[in-house]
Each structure stands twice: as structure tokens, then as C-alpha cells.
């Protein structure tokens, strides 16, 4: 909008506002052609616009060789990131051969291992006694086997052979127990007694400490 005022001492109408005049209070927001103003001021020669960066046409300018780095601003490789993300003090999924001092976690038996001298050494987990299983049963008598089916499995689903089995009678035998003996394989534990006693017993089954395993019911 054009605004004119009459100036008495010069006897003339003077234009004090026009559509072509910028309002200083609007901080250039009333420019009709902002792009033309940027070009006229040579700003494109001094600064890079957001649109230019997003368009990607400056890829030949912004190359790693043209970017100055310092100790706090540097490029990293995928190999370096992978190494940092899998550093030795961060547990990884347990492997057959952990690197020296590398910590591995076995989700199957909820245990932690550390690689030492080319071996996986157990350092902790859900329980310090879960390599031991106690089972209650009854003698069959007269050298007949009471069979306890093994339920300890390794990470491949294979049954694990016990390393020690002990059987104790849990009630009075009246002298009819006879001799107790056991045999065991990866599949089952067989408990025998030579006498006629058929009362109860308790069987403690011990497995290799630190083996990757699980219980599959009993």
C-alpha cells in the first residue's frame, strides 16, 4: 500500500510508504523474491544451502579427503566399530573357543565363561550346584535294576554322561538290603541291590562342572 503525506513547507505530497519499500521491523520477511536477493548478495558463493546439501549434487566437494579431522572429530571404519562393540569385557554369545580373556555367556545353562589358555573356564552363572541332580527312587531288589533315565543334555541336545553317582538308602532295611551297585551311561543310571529290600533310596548324580547343558525334565 502506498502512503503519501503533504509537506506544507515544500507544498508537495511526499510518498513515505510503498509496496516496493521494505519494513525494517519485518527483518526482510517481506521480500517478494528472496532467491533473487540471495543471488544479488552473492550468498550462494559464500554459503551452502540446506537444499543443496540434501540434493546430493555436492558429493564431489564433500569427500573424506576434503574434510579436516582432529582428535575429537574423525572417521571410523565398520571394522573398528565392530571391534569396539565386541571388546573383550563385553560378554558375547558363548563359543567353543573364546579369545584370551573374552567373556562368553551361554543362554542355555545361564552361565558365564572366560577364555584362558585356549580353554573356556566357568566363572559364574545361575547356580554353583546345578551340575548335581538328586533323584528319589525305590530299589527293585534281588539284583534287578531300578532305571533312572538321564535328562542332562548339552547344547546340541545330546545326553551327558555323569561323572559320579552315589546311592543312599533312606529308610530302615531290616538287613535285607544286600550290596548296592550302580552303572551309568549317557542315557540312564541303573541302581541294583542284591537283597530283597524294595524300599526308598536317594541318588545323587554329578555331571562335569561347566559343561554347556540343561535339564530336560525328569
Is 208 found in the same domain as 139? Answer: yes
Is 196 found in the same domain as 137? Answer: yes
Is 32 found in the same domain as 8? Answer: yes
Cell for 18? Answer: 510503498
Query: What pLDDT, on the 0 to 100 scale, is given for residue 215?
Result: 47
Report whether pLDDT(217) > 60: no
Is 146 found in the same domain as 190? Answer: yes
Total structural domains in the chain? 3
Whether 69 is in a domain gets the answer no
Is 210 found in the same domain as 140? Answer: yes
The predicted model gives 113-125 an average pLDDT of: 84
Whether 66 is in a domain gets the answer no
CATH code of the domain in which 164 resides: 2.60.40
Query: What pLDDT, on the 0 to 100 scale, is given for residue 204?
Result: 93
pLDDT tens for 43-78 read: 877 787 777 777 766 666 667 777 788 888 888 888
94 close to 103: Cβ distance less than 8 angstroms: no
Query: What pLDDT, on the 0 to 100 scale, is given for residue 218?
Result: 42
Is 44 found in the same domain as 26? Answer: yes
Give Cα separations from 186 to 133, 150, 157, 161 (angstroms).
14, 7, 12, 4
Whether 82 is in a domain gets the answer no
Cell for 37? Answer: 536477493
Whether 79 is in a domain gets the answer no
The predicted model gives 158-180 an average pLDDT of: 94
User: Residue 203 is part of which domain span?
Assistant: 132-215
User: pTM for the complete prediction?
Assistant: 0.44
Whether 148 is in a domain gets the answer yes
pLDDT category of residue 26 using cuts at 50, 70 and 90: confident
Is 92 found in the same domain as 45? Answer: no
Whether 73 is in a domain gets the answer no
- 7 vs 20, more confident: 7
Please list, residue by residue across 105-117, b when 16 or more beta carbons sit within 10 angstroms of its beta carbon and e when fewer do: bbeebebbbbbee
Amino acid at each position: 500500500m502506498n502512503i503519501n503525506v503533504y509537506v506544507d513547507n515544500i507544498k508537495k505530497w511526499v510518498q513515505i510508504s510503498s509496496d516496493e519499500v521494505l519494513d525494517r521491523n519485518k527483518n526482510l520477511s517481506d521480500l517478494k523474491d528472496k532467491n533473487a536477493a540471495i543471488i544479488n548478495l552473492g550468498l550462494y558463493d559464500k554459503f551452502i544451502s540446506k537444499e543443496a546439501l540434501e540434493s546430493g549434487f555436492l558429493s564431489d566437494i564433500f569427500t573424506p579427503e576434503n574434510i579436516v579431522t582432529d582428535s575429537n572429530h574423525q572417521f571410523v571404519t565398520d571394522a573398528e566399530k565392530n571391534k569396539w562393540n565386541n571388546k573383550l569385557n563385553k560378554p558375547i554369545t558363548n563359543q567353543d573357543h573364546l579369545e584370551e580373556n573374552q567373556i562368553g555367556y551361554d543362554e542355555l545353562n545361564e552361565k558365564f565363561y572366560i577364555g584362558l589358555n585356549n580353554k573356556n573356564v566357568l566363572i559364574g552363572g545361575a547356580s554353583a550346584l546345578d551340575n548335581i541332580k538328586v533323584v528319589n527312587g525305590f530299589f527293585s531288589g534281588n539284583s534287578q535294576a531300578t532305571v533312572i533315565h538321564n535328562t542332562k543334555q548339552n547344547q546340541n541336545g545330546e545326553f551327558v554322561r555323569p561323572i559320579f553317582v552315589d546311592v543312599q538308602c533312606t529308610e530302615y532295611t531290616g538287613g535285607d538290603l544286600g550290596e548296592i551297585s550302580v552303572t551309568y551311561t549317557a542315557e540312564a543310571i541303573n541302581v541294583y541291590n542284591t537283597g530283597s529290600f524294595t524300599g526308598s533310596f536317594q541318588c545323587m548324580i554329578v555331571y562335569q562342572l561347566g559343561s554347556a547343558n540343561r535339564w530336560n525334565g525328569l
